Amino acid sequence: MSWLLLIIINVVVISVASLYQKIAMREEKSDAVVSATTFMIVSGICYFIYALIKGFHIPSITLLPFFIITATLYAAGTILFFHAIKKIEASEMSIIGGVGPIVTIVASMIFLKDILTVTQLSGVVCILAAVFLINYKKNGFVINQGTWLALLGTACYGLGVISDTVIIHRFEVASFIPIGAAGSAFIMMLAYPKKITFVFQSLMKVNKDLLVYSLLYAIGGITFYLAIDAGALVGQVSTIARASIILTVILSTIFLGERTNLIKKLVGAVLTTIGVILVSQ
């Protein structure tokens, strides 16, 4: 299978997965922490199966601090995302997710001594303009609780990429992903011990929408790395994968009825996509 077909599959499944996450969390009784932990465990199992096929290996103990940092950041980010999706639309979540690369670049400047180029700075401006646009109301610029949660979650994921980079340079990706997912799930349960019973109950009878979201998200992650294994450059697949932002807005309009401020969302999605592409250069 060609790398281009693999990354197209990635774009589609990630976009559809976003819809199922919103559907799974629509119910008032849905618990963000329990759902986030269940998601991490289910997707982690999928990643582990993929790792077994590729050849699973144990990392060096010297990488343990970085695994702990990565697992903690993704655990926090995932819980924040699940809280956020209960309060905002899937299309908004997708657009706000574009802020992640900005956090990654700023962190890389601080910790990895990278330098921000003019092209990347232009991308930052596009992304910030998109966030401003979708949060601008008649009575001014307003950021609600759901947006703040999504921004914080995106920041955690953006910082997590820095720790990921250190690990991936020293360890294989296929084995890293399931270990990271397992670590995040463990930290979630460690932080919320009273939720553990409910997590196991959730695993025994998983919400079908949450299950579909977890499986699709895992497929998206696996196809992303398969595309790289098939010969694509990281920059190529990362850039094309950003099409999921626009596709998510379109699909959420059709299937979830998220038609409020549609023009603003579409413009915001385009700005975010352009911004992320520029930032990744």
Greater pLDDT, 107 or 84: 84
pLDDT at residue 261, as a whole number: 87
Query: Does residue 62 register a pLDDT over 80?
Result: yes
Mean pLDDT of 239-256: 92
Mean pLDDT of 184-197: 97
Q: Which alpha helices (DSSP H) does the chain contain, by range?
A: 3-24, 32-54, 64-85, 90-96, 100-111, 118-134, 145-168, 173-191, 196-204, 208-229, 234-241, 243-255, 262-279
Span 215-224, pLDDT tens digits: 999 999 999 8
Give me the domain span that covers residue 42: 3-279
pLDDT at residue 179, as a whole number: 96
How many beta carbons lie within 10 A of that of residue 277, not counting itself?
A: 19
Tell me the pTM. 0.91
Q: How many domains does the chain have?
A: 1
Q: With contact defined as beta carbons under 8 Å apart, do 46 and 219 qualify? A: yes
Span 109-155, pLDDT tens digits: 887 777 878 998 899 899 999 988 888 776 666 688 999 999 999 99
Banded model confidence at residue 90, pLDDT cuts 50, 70, 90? very high
